[in-house]
Amino acid sequence: MMMMSNEQEGEIVCLEKSSVLKGRKLIVGMCLTPSCREMLTWTIAKIAQPGDHILVLHLTSSLCGILSLYQGLCKLKNIKMELEIVKGGKLKHVLVEAACSHRASKLILGTKWHFSICSRATALGRYCVKRLPSTCMVVIVENREIILNKKGKLQLLQVSSMHLINHQSSSTQIMLKIPPQICTNRKVLTCRNLSVLQQVESISVDRPYSKFSFVELEAATASFSPTNLVGRGGGSEVYRGELQDGKLVAIKCLNQGGLQAEEELLTEIEINTCLSHANIVSLTGYCVEPAHLILVYDFLPEGTLDDHLHGGEKKLLAWEVRYKVAVGMCKALEYLHDGIPQPVIHMDVKASNILLSHDFQPQLSDFGLAKWAPKRPMYIHCNDVVGTFGYLAPEYFMYGRVNDKTDVYSFGVVLLELITGRKPIDTTRPKGEENLVIWARPLLDERNLDKLVDPRLGSTYNVCQMQTMISAASLCVQQSSQRRPQISQVLKLLGEDNNGKEEGLSSLQKHGLGVSMDSDEEEGSHFDGSPNYRDHEADIRTHLALAMLGVDANDDAVSESSIDYSSTYLCSTYLEDYLADRFSLPVSFEDH
Ligand SMILES: Nc1ncnc2c1ncn2[C@@H]1O[C@H](COP(=O)(O)OP(=O)(O)OP(=O)(O)O)[C@@H](O)[C@H]1O
């Protein structure tokens, strides 16, 4: 029998391999919550019988994820790396025991403590030095180091002298961090950035990016002059730069001072090596130096969608452009989810990560939080919820569950922004209107164009496209992730891919609706907002939306109770009337 606990939901799942407990090996999946301890007690008291063997399994998936980043480098250097979970009480005892039992030649430790030289880290170092044989060197690393030899004498060394330390392995030594205020010589390559650089070089081996020196980037930006500063993110500053060959680039300087910047840089480069798409920003190169972690991208002169929709200073974003942005982003996500051998979840789809070229072609940027997608219909569990409030899918926000539908939800929020011109969270709005999805949901159900559509657009939009976009948005922001369509289905709904019309038609025919559509009727040809538009396509696409709902509802993975029928209701009510009226077709959506 195998039992795993679902920490966030507080439920215990028992997977019984065989109904008869013969062989008597019980595996208990254990995390550190009280409900897990309760589960273990229950297993011991109620399930296990004398002679049984209980194996307690603790999965450290986040650490495994980080270690997998190093696989390339280890392979390159022909190094074997293993993860070992050790049991024990005090850290110092565990460390010494492990070093002795493995006959380690070096015990290398990182530290997050900010300490003075006479602090706890020194004490830990001294403890280890005393108890370990002289064949084992103790090294504590962070930024700059001090070597503490056996006699307790302090000697200042630079990390570039690491090889020197390696040659002295006969004498036991400790390296300690100097607190930041004592660090004066910033030119020394830190251990950390050295390892980041090695990893970058190993993961980008198939796609060599330009490796810029900081001096080159200084020259490109007039010494990072404030006039070239184009934007600030949560952990970065972005400058416009011109390279020697005249190419314009965006230079993103990650704020140093933590693992986060390193992880972002490595993830961005690792994932970008697998990507090439017209709607995804191209990474040109990087700069990794002692005090600098920098990413260099193609420069997109029109800035972000966020600036255009909510910036205030920009010209009104025309409907035509809004629709183009929606389709372009949908294509980028379809490429990530379905178009590459190892699919990717972006994890931070939002208006400020959608950049616009001179002709307003959208490009998705910022892969620092991206993840390799799990196989459908599985999801991955994330303990840290990162991303942007207002765009986070409910199951991710509440339970840390991630799969491709996480991006679909965020994309739905972007569609709502394009339709309404409102921000996802706007605390200046009256009560009840602050959260865009909550405010929009009943209006989407009613198809209340008067209230939904950005008042700045007036009547300058294509009603057919607006209806389609509203259908897509209402499907994408559904509470239940299983009920959300896959992004490829959303792309069919929005059209503008070559197969959209035919697939839309064939789907209608499959559902017994023989609707003809003029082949010369080009989508987007009516921009006058007139009520006399011929909008067969909108009907077809909205019907497709319903077909999707039907498909998902039959999915075994969807339990009855998890289905939110409200949007089925909203689409069908609208469509039954509409199709019956337009095409004199008796339509009933009961079957779907
Ligand atoms: N390739 C680019 N071309 C032009 N401008 C860019 C480019 N990349 C980023 N910018 C500008 O820099 C700003 C900051 O970008 P960055 O990706 O660091 O942050 P963000 O996505 O806005 O926020 P966060 O990092 O918190 O998610 C953007 O809002 C945009 O104005």
Q: How many Cα atoms sit within 13 Å of 293 on the Cβ side?
A: 27
- Among the listed residues 52, 245, 298, 348, the single catalytic one is 348
Q: How confident is the model at residue 14 (pLDDT cuts 50, 70, 90)?
A: very low
Average predicted confidence (pLDDT) for the chain: 72
Neighbouring-strand partners of residue 53: 25
CA 472–ligand 1 middle distance (angstroms): 27
User: Residue 532 — φ and ψ, nearest 5°?
Assistant: -90, 20
Identity of the amino acid at 124:
L
Q: Does the annotation flag 252 for ligand binding?
A: yes
Q: How confident is the model at residue 406 (pLDDT cuts 50, 70, 90)?
A: very high
Contact, 140 vs 174, CB < 8 A? yes
Cα 493 to Cα 251, 317, 505, distances in angstroms? 36, 22, 11
Task: Give the model's pLDDT for residue 535.
Answer: 39
Q: Which residues contact 340 (CB under 8 A, 6 or more apart)?
A: 274, 275
Q: Closest Cα to residue 146, out of 116, 113, 186, 169?
A: 116
User: Residue 241 — φ and ψ, nearest 5°?
Assistant: -140, 155
Cα 485 to Cα 253, 279, 287, 412, 492, distances in angstroms? 36, 21, 39, 11, 11
Whether the per-residue pLDDT at 420 is higher than 80: the answer is: yes
Rounded CA separation 559/377 (Å): 14
When mean pLDDT is compared across 281-290, 308-317, 574-583, the lowest value belongs to: 574-583
> pLDDT: is 45 or 238 the higher one?
238
Its pTM stands at 0.59
Task: Give the model's pLDDT for residue 107.
Answer: 75
Return the structure tokens found at 382.
């994330």
Whether the per-residue pLDDT at 523 is higher than 50: the answer is: no
In short, whether 296's Cβ falls inside 6 Å of ligand 1 is: no
Q: Closest Cα to residue 209, out of 249, 237, 177?
A: 249
Question: What is the atom index within ligand 1 of the atom nearest the CA of 252?
Answer: 18
Return left, alpha or beta for 545; rule: phi > 0 is left, psi -120 to 50 is alpha, else beta.
alpha
Task: Give the model's pLDDT for residue 548.
Answer: 43
Whether the per-residue pLDDT at 423 is higher than 80: the answer is: yes
Return the structure tokens found at 81.
């790396």
pLDDT one-digit tens code per residue, 15-36: 434 334 455 777 777 766 666 7
Q: 3-state secondary structure string, 418-433?
A: HHHCCCCECCCCCCCC
When mean pLDDT is compared across 138-142, 149-153, 166-170, the lowest value belongs to: 166-170
Task: Give the model's pLDDT for residue 538.
Answer: 44
Q: Output the residue whose Cα is nearest ligand 1's atom 23.
A: 233
Rounded CA separation 319/436 (Å): 19
When mean pLDDT is compared across 128-137, 138-147, 478-487, the lowest value belongs to: 138-147
Q: How confident is the model at residue 305 (pLDDT cuts 50, 70, 90)?
A: very high
Q: Closest Cα to residue 476, out of 420, 548, 422?
A: 548
Return the structure tokens found at 320.
């035509």
348 belongs to the catalytic site: yes
CA 250–ligand 1 middle distance (angstroms): 9
Neighbouring-strand partners of residue 293: 254, 288
Contact, 373 vs 345, CB < 8 A? yes
Rounded CA separation 249/571 (Å): 45
Rounded CA separation 590/592 (Å): 6
In short, whether 250's Cβ falls inside 6 Å of ligand 1 is: yes
CA 304–ligand 1 middle distance (angstroms): 8
Per-range mean pLDDT, top range of 168-172, 343-347, 550-554, 564-568: 343-347
Per-range mean pLDDT, top range of 26-30, 286-290, 347-351, 518-522: 347-351
Sign of the four-CA dihedral 490, 496, 500, 505: positive
Question: What is the atom index within ligand 1 of the atom nearest the CA of 238?
Answer: 12
Q: CA 539, 543, 544 angle in degrees (round to 5)?
A: 120
Task: Give the model's pLDDT for residue 293.
Answer: 92
> pLDDT: is 323 or 16 the higher one?
323
In short, whether 231's Cβ falls inside 6 Å of ligand 1 is: yes
